[in-house]
Every structure is written in structure tokens, then in C-alpha cells.
Amino acid sequence: MNGVAASPFLYRFDVARTALVIIDMQRDFVEPGGFGASLGNDVTRLQAIVPTVREVLLAWRAAGGLVVHTREAHAPDLSDCPPAKLQRGNPHLRIGDVGPMGRILVAGEPGNQIVPALAPVPGEIVIDKPGKGAFYATGLHEMLQGRGITHLVFMGVTTEVCVQTSMREANDRGYDCLLVEDGTESYFPEFKAATLAMITAQGAIVGWVAPAHHLIASLSP
């Protein structure tokens, strides 16, 4: 059994029963010239976590743990994109429109791919999710159950939207969840701070939070 010095208290897990879940580290969200940048967001905030996410990913692979990658992605005909999502807000570009890296949030497009530094390797699970949460309409819960997974460690973007939604979905399904605080980021720093506080409040009501170096130290023999 491994233990991570975390907030609000020690997080215990068994690597064999834990999956590392990396949420939506896609080119369109993270790279300059992508969809996120076209909306006026400062993508350098998201770019800055890539080395940390990679360091944790490599350590997790070395420990023999299961890895799950997600991409927010829709079918080319947008049949899996509800109107409420398609029409939300007033962006210059909407889902399915042609952006700087191909059609926005459409499976198979260049911008929809995970950044090269974090690219999946054979044997890792890759989930294309039509919603914000990793469990909605994906079959992820069944995949994890089939592998005996009981604990999840989260990284990725953005903290307050897809990461937090996925953690709350996981919590409702009985998983004990840890968020790597320097392995997640938001375009809005105040949103990230608020999310970390909400997750750990009331005795880890949603989950635990810890820095990457604490998690990596817990994986050492």
C-alpha cells in the first residue's frame, strides 16, 4: 500500500488497483494557435504543466500502473453533441467549425490529438468523451471495474471544468480520487484555486490534492 502526503490528510492507494487519468491534454486546448488561444485565453498557463504531467506519467508507467487518457471529441456529424452544448456562449468558433488546427473538438482532427510529449503508448486506455466528464457516454466505469480499479489519480485541464466534473463523477461511483495540484491548470487561476478548495473541503468530500513530487515519492521502492 502506497501513501501520499496530501490535503486534507494521507491518501492511501495500491498501484495495482489505481489508474492515472489524464484529462484532455489536447493540442487545441494547450498549444498556441489552437482553439483555446483563439478564444483569447492565455494557453501558456496550460503549457506550463506539460513537463510535470510528463514526469508523473513516466513515473506511473515505470511503476506498472494503468493509464487513461481522455479527449473531448465529437463525431464528425456532431450527432453526439447536444444543442445545449453546441450553442452555449457566444464564441467566434463553435464545435465543428474549422479552426486553426482543423474542425473544433471533432475526433481525428489535428487539434483534437493529445500533445506529443504526453502521447499514449500501446496498452493505455484512450477515451473520446462527448461531455465534460470522463464517465458520461464512454464506458469508462465498466473498463475500470473490469480491471479491478478502485482509486484514481487525476491530472489535466481544465481544473474547474472537465477535471472537476470527472472527479465528481468518479466520487459518485465509489472511487477514491487524488488530484495532482501542479499537474492541472485553468485559464483562470482563481477558478483553479476555488476548485482545489472545494475538492478537499469537509474531509475530502470529493477527493484529495497533492503536489506531483509527493506522488512520485510514494512510487519509489
Catalytic annotation present for 42: no
Tally of CB atoms within 10 A around 150? 15
Catalytic annotation present for 162: yes
Strands (E), 42-138: 66-72, 98-99, 102-103, 125-129
Alpha helices in 73-206 (DSSP H): 83-86, 140-146, 164-172, 189-204
**Residue 23 DSSP SS3:** strand
Catalytic option among 28, 132, 162, 176: 162
Catalytic option among 128, 129, 132, 176: 129
Evaluate whether 127 touches 41 at the Cβ level (below 8 Å): no
Tally of CB atoms within 10 A around 175? 20
Catalytic annotation present for 24: yes
The residues assigned a catalytic role are: 24, 129, 162
